[in-house]
Amino acid sequence: MGFFSRLEIRAKEIDSLLCVGLDPHVDQLSSEGPKAALEFCKRIVDATADLVLAYKPNCAFFEVFGSEGLVVLETLVAFIPDDIPIILDGKRGDIASSAQAYAAAIFETLRADAATVNPYLGFDAIAPFLQHENKGVFLLCKTSNPGSRDFQDLEVRNSIEDLDFPKYKSMYQLIAVKAVEWNVNDNLGLVVGATQNEPLRIIRDITPDQWILAPGVGAQGGDLDLALEAGLRNDGLGMVIPVSRGISKSADPRQAAINLNQRINHHRLSVYRDKTQSESIQVKNLRDKRLAMDILKFGCVKFGKFTLKSGLNSPIYIDLRKLTGDPNLLSRVAIEFTRILNQLAFDLLAGLPYAGLPIATAVSLTGNWPLVYPRKESKKYGTQVEIEGVFTAGQKVVLIDDLATTGDSKFEAIKKLEAAGLSIKDVVVLIDRESGAAGDLSKSGYKMHAVFTLSELLQTWFSEGLISGAERDEVQNFISETR
């Protein structure tokens, strides 16, 4: 299981986003040195292990004791219960064999679950960490210190415009954009200080799904409530709130952790309600908005008078077969499918010929999932099989298609797959045309998931000036009539 999947499961199980920093400051300890550092940290772990989402030891406070300090750090990591993720805060940043050695030291020797990494040297410095696919990486993006503005706020106008993000000008925003691009294995998060509320809000807009490590609450002056409001995902998750001195210097560390958890959860609930209630029909996050716009710009959507396969007369025609003409666009579509699929339990993908099969193939390559597909026409020669690919009866399959209208083609494919002994519960499409497919599938016990609904796309295209109000309204009326 990947690090962020583990993190999310634990957050839900114990209802906590609190991360305790294990920072044994030398000036707080007795003359016993490394031994006192270990006992200090073990007391904190003993007092809070059932309350915290993760622990975050800071390498510096162990390295200061020399070789004995490294032994203490290794002992501490082994002492922390296995079900609690460990984020080793070392802010590493080098390239080639040096970066590989840092990654091996953190993930293999010390057996930590995640690391903080500096992006200043570019992707070369991050790749060796990301290659450990079941481990997590938190990339420094907008840090909590006042001096972060020296470099992180510098304008990088040309680079951002090249990435079709003309609204964003600063270095930290470019780092966030890059983090979305590099997060192929869903093991890359960001470090954004809780002292940086507006940047935190902007970064959450750029990276709506990724986890954010948000230091700075407490001694550095970060406002917890404002940080949660700016950085939480719409599901009330997506943030790790590390607190060190606020717990370790408390007379009762356990009670301090309980109080912080209660405060975080109270605000999580209110933020979740506010965000849910304020969700508009428009695609809001920038990554999905950019993809929505590019699908239209690439010619996959036409407005006019069209007869669909279902027999419906439609004012819009969506031809996602064109995606094969742009490998980059097809790859981005595949990544959006993986974000949905990572939440589902299955053994195989099943692509629907013909339009859904290239997408399913791209998704298979992106997520490293095996793929089968039901034949459109019965095979009259050779093996005469109905299902192409390698599978075993009883395996769970997720159906992949380009879009959904009435659901008829999905039922045809499901019938063939189930006849071969495969089990199906979920269908994932790029676009739900909102013409009844989701409801029809649901009545038969299947759940449909869509990257976009057509209503979301229409409002986004209109708000960006890509279609007229008349075009939007005509299609929206068609949706209402066919629901």
**Catalytically active residues, by annotation:** 91
Q: Helix, strand, coil % (nearest 5) of the chain?
A: 50, 20, 35
User: Exposed, middle or buried, 375 (CB in 10 Å: 0-12/13-18/19+)?
Assistant: middle
d(CA 222, CA 225): 9
> Taking every pair of C-alpha atoms in the chain, what is the biggest distance, in angstroms?
83
Both tokens of residue 269? Answer: 């609930």
d(CA 403, CA 425): 17
Residues constituting the chain: 483
CA within 13 Å, CB half, 286 = 21
Q: Is the peptide bond before 354 cis (omega within 30 degrees of 0)?
A: yes
Distance set, CA 469 to CA 206, 293, 453, 473, 474 (Å):
27, 16, 18, 6, 9
Amino acid identity, residue 147?
A: G
What angle, 0 to 180 degrees and rounded to 10, lies between the N-to-C axes of helices 469-482 and 454-463? 170
Sign for the pseudo-dihedral over CA of 40, 44, 46, 49: negative
d(CA 114, CA 108): 11
